[in-house]
């Protein structure tokens, strides 16, 4: 098999397209094929930095890992990062292009189609199978013109399409049949089958509905995927993460402040694996309680979110908790927020020229026009552990007297360097860093948690997580097992082999 593809489209957002594509990437790879993922256009503030220093959507990173490939921006050439309700930062081929509103972007989009076509076919040439992910729904009839991510992409790639629906939210038969109804005749021919995702219950009770659906849409149901729980870094799970609370018998209570423009929430995914941790999100207007650790995450709009933190009263709650013994840990935008001042003289991020921070650490951030995007490694100077992560930020933070850097940065994008990152106060109760993914470094995370434990007069523990990357491999294999068992892979392979016109 050479230069083949399959595309997963959905009846709407968050029906599980990313996870299903991830499963297919792992299954095809297990079966001996060279596989690459592709999504022409992604909208997410949960991005990643490649070894080349390029920015891309996290879902395609997950899919690349499942396929055993190094993530590259060609797998997600357009990334839209919302900066407000009306505007998004447009990242093209891994680099920031400009910020646009919807009207500006749709006017600009026709220029991107030729680029997408060329990039896709270059990726296809080095693959046996390309697993393509759609976005939202192909039945958005007002968005069909110049489409480059659903049926427009399928046409460019000459790819057969599988349509997925989410039964967990209800109305799956109507959503599948309704989507097919709104496709034109050429598009209908491109869809080779449907599948139902997130099923709970008895297949015997569901089967009559499947038979009736096949009669209505004249397409086979290729599988019914059960609802399952795996610890995967899926950017589309932000809705679930926003509701997420991990309550168990953990002795350390960690509260993550749910900023309005939160980004890179996968920074905290690994913390779910630590048995002595209770993990919870806290909205700005919620009661904070008395957590042992307060984490302020990354944000796409630091100044705007700092303003909301103040106006909501959450800023006062954080300061009060710290005065009463809570540790505070800021990541990227959260690092900027815990400082004394955030300056934006050129209005890179906001209409405001600046705003005061929480003042928990003596540091000043100034926004510049150029974005830092690096994959970084170093040694943390609080616990002397190796750490690695990725940096995505417009601001530069300068520490004042009495504040110490948190990390000695030894390499950026594979090039040796000798820089400093982040900050830690003298009594090691306030931490800040630009390293997204720092908690993936198990030795650092356990050292930090043990310091919190000792402050509570609890004995230190050995790390629950020895190798997070091995853990993720295990999760990808479990995902592949679930999907392979419940999807008709013989029919899937026949669809892939026959192609669009088979």
Residue 235: what pLDDT? 55
How far apart, in whole angstroms, are the C-alpha atoms of residue 91 and residue 56?
Answer: 8
Please tell me the number of Cα atoms within 13 Å of 244 on its side-chain side.
21
Asked if residue 118 lies in contact with residue 124, where contact means CB atoms within 8 angstroms, the answer is no
Task: Assign domain 4-232+472-497 to a CATH class.
Answer: alpha beta
Which of these is catalytic: 21, 321, 332, 385?
A: 332
How far apart, in whole angstroms, are the C-alpha atoms of residue 322 and residue 316?
Answer: 10
The CA R_g of the chain, rounded to the nearest whole Å, is 23
How far apart, in whole angstroms, are the C-alpha atoms of residue 39 and residue 21?
Answer: 10
Strands of 52-160 (E only): list them: 55-57, 78-82, 87-92, 95-101, 129-133
Residue 2: what pLDDT? 64
Which of these is catalytic: 54, 261, 393, 436?
A: 436
Residue 468: what pLDDT? 81
What SS3 state is found at 86? Answer: coil
For each of the chain's 502 residues, which pLDDT tens digit applies? 567 999 999 999 999 999 999 999 999 999 999 999 999 999 988 888 887 889 999 999 999 999 999 899 999 999 999 888 888 999 999 999 999 998 999 899 999 999 999 999 999 999 999 999 999 999 998 888 889 999 999 999 999 999 999 999 899 999 999 999 999 999 999 999 999 999 999 999 999 999 999 999 999 999 999 998 887 876 544 444 444 555 567 899 999 999 998 888 889 888 988 999 999 999 999 999 999 999 999 998 899 999 999 999 999 999 999 999 999 999 999 999 999 999 999 888 878 889 999 999 999 999 987 888 888 999 999 999 999 998 988 889 999 888 899 999 999 988 899 999 999 999 999 999 999 999 999 999 999 999 999 999 999 998 777 678 788 899 999 999 999 999 999 999 999 999 987 7
How far apart, in whole angstroms, are the C-alpha atoms of residue 436 and residue 83?
Answer: 19
Segments of the chain assigned to CATH 3.40.50.880: 252-457
How far apart, in whole angstroms, are the C-alpha atoms of residue 51 and residue 61?
Answer: 12
How far apart, in whole angstroms, are the C-alpha atoms of residue 301 and residue 99?
Answer: 13
CATH 3.40.190.10 describes domain 252-457: no
Tracing tokens 């509701």 back to the chain, one arrives at 243
436 given a catalytic annotation: yes
Pairing type for strands 262-263 and 47-49 reads unpaired
21 given a catalytic annotation: no
Segments of the chain assigned to CATH 3.40.50.300: 4-232+472-497
**pTM as predicted:** 0.80
Strands of 267-385 (E only): list them: 277-283, 293-296, 298-299, 327-331, 341-343, 354-356, 363-380
Q: How many CB atoms lie within 10 A of CB 272?
A: 12
Q: Measured between alpha carbons, how far is residue 324 from residues 184, 291, 320, 395 in Å?
A: 63, 10, 6, 30
Q: Measuring CA to CA, which residue among 21, 26, 65 is closest to residue 42?
A: 21
How far apart, in whole angstroms, are the C-alpha atoms of residue 108 and residue 481?
Answer: 42
Q: Measuring CA to CA, which residue among 111, 122, 158, 225 is closest to residue 4?
A: 158
Residue 242: what pLDDT? 44
**DSSP code for 307:** H
Pairing type for strands 430-433 and 327-331 reads parallel
Q: Measured between alpha carbons, how far is residue 148 from residues 25, 46, 138, 154, 156 in Å?
A: 22, 21, 11, 8, 8
Q: How many CB atoms lie within 10 A of CB 386?
A: 13
How far apart, in whole angstroms, are the C-alpha atoms of residue 364 and residue 343?
Answer: 8
- Both tokens of 52, joined, read 């080349």
Q: How many CB atoms lie within 10 A of CB 257?
A: 26
Q: Measuring CA to CA, which residue among 467, 438, 468 is closest to residue 376?
A: 438
């Amino acid at each position: 098999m050479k230069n083949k593809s399959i595309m997963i489209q959905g009846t709407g957002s968050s029906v599980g397209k990313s996870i299903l594509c991830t499963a297919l990437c792992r299954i095809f790879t297990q079966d001996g094929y060279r596989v690459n993922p592709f999504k022409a256009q992604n909208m997410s503030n949960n991005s990643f930095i490649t070894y080349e220093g390029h920015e891309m959507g996290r879902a395609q990173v997950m899919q690349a890992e499942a396929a055993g490939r190094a993530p590259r921006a060609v797998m997600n050439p357009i990334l839209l990062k919302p900066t407000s309700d009306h505007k998004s930062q447009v990242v093209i081929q891994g680099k920031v292009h400009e910020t646009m509103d919807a009207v500006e972007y749709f006017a600009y989009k026709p220029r991107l189609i030729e680029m997408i076509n060329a990039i896709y076919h270059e990726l296809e040439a080095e693959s046996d199978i390309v697993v393509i992910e759609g976005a939202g729904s192909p039945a958005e009839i007002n968005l069909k013109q110049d489409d480059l991510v659903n049926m427009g992409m399928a046409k460019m790639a000459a790819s057969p399409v599988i349509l997925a629906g989410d039964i967990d939210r209800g109305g799956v038969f109507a959503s599948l049949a309704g989507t097919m109804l709104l496709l034109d005749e050429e598009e209908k021919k491109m869809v080779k089958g449907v599948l139902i995702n997130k099923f709970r219950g008895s297949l015997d009770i569901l089967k009559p509905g499947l038979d009736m659906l096949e009669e209505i849409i004249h397409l086979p149901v290729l599988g019914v995927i059960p609802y399952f729980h795996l610890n995967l870094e899926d950017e589309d799970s932000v809705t679930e993460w926003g509701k997420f609370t991990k309550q168990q018998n953990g002795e350390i209570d960690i509260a993550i402040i749910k900023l309005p423009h939160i980004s890179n929430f996968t920074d905290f995914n690994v913390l779910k694996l630590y048995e002595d941790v209770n993990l919870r999100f806290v909205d700005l207007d919620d009661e904070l309680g008395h957590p042992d650790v307060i984490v302020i995450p990354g944000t796409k709009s630091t100044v705007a979110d700092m303003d909301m933190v103040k106006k909501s009263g959450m800023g006062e709650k954080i300061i009060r908790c710290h005065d009463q013994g809570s540790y505070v840990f800021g990541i990227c935008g959260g690092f900027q927020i815990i400082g004394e001042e955030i300056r934006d003289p050129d209005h890179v991020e906001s209409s405001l020229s600046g705003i005061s921070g929480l003042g928990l650490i003596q540091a000043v951030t100034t926004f510049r026009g150029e974005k830092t995007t690096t994959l970084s490694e170093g040694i943390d100077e609080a616990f002397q552990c190796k750490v690695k992560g990725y940096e995505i930020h417009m601001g530069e933070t300068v520490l004042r007297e009495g504040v110490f850097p948190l990390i000695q940065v030894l390499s950026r994008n594979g090039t040796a360097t000798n820089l400093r990152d982040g900050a830690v106060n003298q009594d090691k109760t306030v931490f800040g860093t630009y390293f997204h993914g720092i908690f993936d470094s198990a030795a650092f995370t356990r050292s930090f948690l043990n310091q919190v434990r000792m402050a509570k007069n609890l004995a230190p523990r050995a790390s629950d997580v020895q190798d997070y990357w091995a853990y993720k491999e295990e999760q990808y294999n479990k995902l592949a097992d679930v999907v392979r068992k419940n999807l008709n892979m013989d029919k899937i392979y026949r669809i892939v082999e026959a192609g669009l016109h088979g």
